[in-house]
């Protein structure tokens, strides 16, 4: 899997060299390329933004640098196997299933907006050429798409076959299919008693049936408490 990042702050992605994703890069599972969008400007000030047509506050990212960067980084041929991701507050909520789908992609290009956002024609052009995802990480606004791109990267790359040492652990995580799309149950380890707080007895019983039942009940309880929106989804197993 090749991952490209287009940003006016490419140094944000240096962290990928030291994180788990860096390990995958070393193993050859992923190839990471960060690019400075200003490298595709031609004026002395390396300008990437301009005032919004129709008025309004703030600045909008000009389409020209993006188009030239696309030409060099991705090419000028249409290819639906290339996934282009635009993190944006107005995007579709990013989910574990979206991460799972992207984990089989061979090419992902992250376009990290700044200012008030990117000229919409950039997204329209990308849609005419590649598979585009406008995604949000939640109902809050960041200063740019870089942090969102890092979060999406981690969610996707950890699902790439061969990345996780123990792929079985993925099956029991929150939102995973193995968890019926529910939130993960509470976890405990030794010591059995810590500062007056004990591990639930059932987990020390060695009775696998009771343990499984307790964990399921806890997942259902937590999901109903914290994410009632998940309890009606088809994959949740609870209605
Ligand atoms: N939650 C998010 N906020 C932002 C802000 C900008 Br500017 C670009 C992308 C995103 S994703």
DSSP string, 101-116: HHTT-SEEEEE---TT
Ligand 1 binding residues, C-beta < 6 A = 87-89, 113-114, 117, 136-137, 140-142, 144-145, 148
Looking from the CA of residue 138, the nearest atom of ligand 1 is 1
CA of 5 to the centre of ligand 1 (A): 15
The conformation of residue 118, written as its DSSP 8-state character, comes to B
Report pLDDT for 166: 66
Which burial class, exposed, middle or buried, applies to 61 when counting CB atoms under 10 A from its CB (0-12, 13-18, 19+)? buried
d(CA 101, CA 30): 16
pLDDT tens, the chain, 239 aa long: 999 999 999 999 999 988 766 777 778 899 999 999 999 999 999 999 999 999 999 999 999 999 999 999 999 999 999 999 999 999 999 999 999 999 999 999 999 999 999 999 999 999 999 999 999 999 999 999 999 999 999 999 999 988 876 666 676 677 766 678 899 999 999 999 999 999 999 999 999 999 999 999 999 999 999 999 998 755 565 65
Contact in structure between 152 and 94 (CB atoms under 8 Å): yes
Please indicate if the annotation marks 141 as binding a ligand.
yes
d(CA 111, CA 124): 13
CA of 96 to the centre of ligand 1 (A): 19
Taking the alpha carbons of 68, 150, 101, 139 in that order, is the dihedral positive or negative?
negative
Please indicate if the annotation marks 139 as binding a ligand.
yes
Contact in structure between 62 and 47 (CB atoms under 8 Å): yes
Buried b (16+ CB within 10 A) or exposed e, 67-84: bebbeeebeeeeeeebbb
List residues bridging with 93 in a β-sheet. 136
Please indicate if the annotation marks 187 as binding a ligand.
no
Contact in structure between 63 and 121 (CB atoms under 8 Å): yes
For residue 19, cis peptide bond before it (omega within 30 degrees of 0): no
CA of 119 to the centre of ligand 1 (A): 14
Question: Helix, strand, or coil here: 169?
Answer: helix
CA of 114 to the centre of ligand 1 (A): 7
Contact in structure between 146 and 88 (CB atoms under 8 Å): no
CA of 209 to the centre of ligand 1 (A): 45
Report pLDDT for 238: 64
Please indicate if the annotation marks 138 as binding a ligand.
yes
Contact in structure between 158 and 100 (CB atoms under 8 Å): no
* The model's pTM: 0.92
Closest to 218 measured CA to CA, from 198, 191, 200: 200
CA of 226 to the centre of ligand 1 (A): 25
The conformation of residue 127, written as its DSSP 8-state character, comes to H
Give the list of residues 6+ apart from residue 70 with CB closer than 8 angstroms, or none: 125, 126, 129
Please indicate if the annotation marks 137 as binding a ligand.
yes
Closest to 52 measured CA to CA, from 37, 42, 43, 63: 63
Please indicate if the annotation marks 3 as binding a ligand.
no
Q: Of 141, 146, 150, which is best to mutate to test ligand 1, by the most ligand atoms within 8 angstroms of its C-beta? A: 141
Buried b (16+ CB within 10 A) or exposed e, 205-222: eeeeeebeebbbebbbeb
């Amino acid at each position: 899997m090749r991952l490209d990042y287009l940003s006016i702050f490419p140094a944000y992605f240096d962290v990928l060299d030291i994180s788990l994703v860096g390990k995958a890069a070393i193993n050859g599972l992923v190839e990471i390329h960060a690019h400075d969008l200003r490298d595709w400007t031609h004026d002395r000030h390396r300008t990437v933004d301009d005032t919004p047509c129709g008025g309004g506050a703030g600045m909008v990212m000009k389409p020209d640098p993006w188009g030239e960067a696309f030409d060099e980084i991705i090419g000028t041929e249409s290819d639906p196997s290339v996934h282009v991701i635009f993190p944006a507050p107005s995007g579709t909520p990013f989910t574990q299933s979206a991460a799972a789908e992207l984990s089989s992609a061979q090419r992902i290009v992250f376009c990290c907006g700044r200012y008030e956002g990117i000229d919409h024609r950039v997204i329209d052009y990308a849609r005419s050429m590649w598979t585009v995802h406008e995604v949000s990480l939640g109902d809050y606004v960041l200063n740019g798409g870089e942090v969102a791109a890092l979060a999406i990267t981690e969610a996707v790359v950890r699902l790439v076959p061969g990345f996780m040492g123990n792929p079985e652990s993925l099956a029991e995580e929150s939102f995973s299919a193995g968890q019926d799309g529910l939130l993960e149950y509470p976890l405990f380890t030794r010591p059995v008693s810590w500062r007056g707080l004990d591990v639930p007895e059932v987990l020390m019983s060695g009775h696998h049936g009771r343990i499984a039942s307790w964990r399921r009940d806890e997942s259902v309880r937590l999901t109903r408490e914290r994410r009632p929106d998940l309890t009606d989804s088809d994959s949740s197993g609870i209605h």
